[in-house]
Amino acid sequence: MVPVCKVASAGLLTGALMMAAPLSAQKLEEISRPKGPLSLESTGSFFVGGHAAKQNATEIGLYGDGEITVDQMYVQYLIPQKRSGLPVVMVHGGTLTGKSYETTPDGRMGWYEYFARRGFPSYVVDQVGRARSGFNQAPFNAARAGAANPQSQPNLRRVANDVAWVRFRFGPKAGEAFSDSQFPVAAASEFAKQAVPDLGQSFPAYDPNFSALAALAQQLKGAVLMGHSQAGRYPFEAALLAPSGIRALVAIEPPGCKAAEYSDDQITKLARLPILVVYGDHLETPQSQGVSWLPFFQDCEKFVARVNAAKGNAKMLHTSELGIRGNSHMIMQDRNNLQIADLIIKWIREMTRPAR
């Protein structure tokens, strides 16, 4: 029996009281300011990838026909004044954006800033087809105008707040937290604001995120690629496509590792790079909810064994096995998120030489 506790302040996510009331905005005063200053060489943003698409006026939706640009990937960065590590690229998961790695829902420092403070040039992307990377609106506008079957529109996925609570392992049941939960459940309504519609499923077999990440790593001339959840295997896929700029791969809570699906040739290629797979706690979520992370975890264990059998250097980092309890699927936002970051940073430093 998993210990649980009621979370009064999480009531925003549960029940009829919520229906009409607006969510209260996070107060700026609730955001904690780090004690020491952050000294940056620079901060900014740019794009990788992208190509032109010719569309008619209906598809474009404003003024007239012509070309627009699609499949670009937005990238933001913090370059610390004093560097002591390789660039780290962070990719968020499904129905989310790069915000995953910024300030946590309860106002603490995220990994984006923390890695920069620890000396790593820190890069966060918005996946192609989402947030500041935009998406191709043509199929929607064509259907709206009667020029295409609405069924040809991509499905725009989101996840209901109560469903996320259980699937992201804040607790066994919406509104109830595990007694040792590291997720800041009182700020769950702020976490809900991070979600955006996700067209990812609509990409063909070739996902433009893979080539964009590979291109980014090449421009960085040696980078650590880190992916979370739905993007957990993106670092693997980018490395299989073009490994030349990639120095290490980190998969945070991926939906399995395709242990049985990667070919021997693919495993041999992946075995050339250090690989870390990270999972939190409570992987056996209740049967009543029809979801469990355990099979994904077990698949990744098999993947790690297969890579290492091919003379690779892969490792599982299962936080609860280290005695760190209660980590959720949103581990980069958990209350002990910097403790987890330190474990990953330690591994990165061991696996990579210092930056020039």
Site residues for a second copy, 212-271, by CB under 8 A, read: 212, 215, 219-220
Does 292 interact with a second copy (rule: CB under 8 A)? no
Residue 244 Cβ, how far from a second copy at the closest point, in Å? 15
| Number of C-beta neighbours around residue 289 at 10 A | 14
Instruction: Report the nearest approach of a second copy to the CB of residue 180 (Å).
Output: 25
Q: What are phi and psi of 320, to 5 degrees?
A: -70, -25
- Which range binds a second copy by CB under 8 A, 76-84, 246-254, 257-265, 343-351? 76-84
- Measured from the CB atom, is 105 or 227 closer to a second copy? 105
Q: Interface with a second copy includes 146 (CB under 8 A)?
A: yes
Give the Cα separation of 254 and 33 in Å (integer). Answer: 31
The distance of closest approach from Cβ of residue 198 to a second copy in the complex, given in angstroms and rounded to an integer, is 8
Contact present, 246 and 273 (Cβ < 8 Å): yes
CA distance 89 to 84: 15
| Shortest Å, Cβ 31 to a second copy | 6
Exactly one of 9, 67, 84, 295 binds a second copy (CB under 8 A); which one? Answer: 67
Residue 15 sits at φ, ψ, to 5 deg, of 90, 175
Q: Which is nearer to a second copy, 108 or 282 (CB)?
A: 108
CB of 253 to a second copy, least distance (A): 17
Pair type for strands 223-228 and 88-91: parallel
Between the alpha carbon of residue 151 and those of residues 94, 142, 154, 197, the distances in Å are: 22, 11, 8, 17
- What are residue 177's DSSP bridge partners? 5
179 is a site residue for a second copy (CB under 8 A)? no
Q: Which helix (H) or strand (E) holds 189?
A: helix 188-192
Q: Can residue 9 be called a binding residue for a second copy (CB under 8 A)?
A: no
Give the H or E element holding residue 164: helix 161-167
- Interacting residue with a second copy among 3, 5, 6, 34 (CB under 8 A): 34
Q: Please choose, from the candidates 36, 126, 34, 31, the residue with its C-alpha nearest in 3D space to the C-alpha of residue 81.
A: 36
Copy the structure tokens of residue 97.
């954006």
Using CB under 8 A, which of 7, 195, 213, 231 touches a second copy?
A: 195
> Of 109 and 331, which has the nearer Cβ to a second copy?
109
Using the rule CB under 8 A, is 19 a contact of a second copy?
Answer: yes
345 interacts with a second copy by CB under 8 A = no
Please tell me whether residue 286 binds a second copy under the rule CB under 8 A.
no
Between CA 4 and CA 343 the distance in angstroms is 27
- One residue of 2, 173, 186, 197 binding a second copy per CB under 8 A: 197
Residue reference for tokens 């989101």: 158
Among 1, 8, 22, 288, binds a second copy (CB under 8 A): 22
Report the residue number, 25 or 260, with the smaller CB distance to a second copy: 25
Helix axis angle for 234-241 and 208-220, nearest 10°, is 70
Closest distance to a second copy from the beta carbon of 257 (Å): 22
Chain positions 111 to 140 lying near a second copy, rule: CB under 8 A, are: 113, 126, 131-135, 137, 140
**Span interacting with a second copy, options 160-168, 251-259, 276-284, 297-305, rule CB under 8 A:** 160-168
Between strands 122-126 and 66-80, the pairing is antiparallel
Q: Are 265 and 272 in contact (CB under 8 A)?
A: no
Whose Cβ is closer to a second copy: residue 198's or residue 253's?
198
Q: Taking contact as CB under 8 A, which single stretch among the options 55-63, 231-239, 268-276, 296-304 is the one that binds a second copy?
A: 55-63
Residues in the chain: 356
Contact between 309 and a second copy per CB under 8 A: no
Nearest to 285 by CA among 188, 155, 168, 122: 168
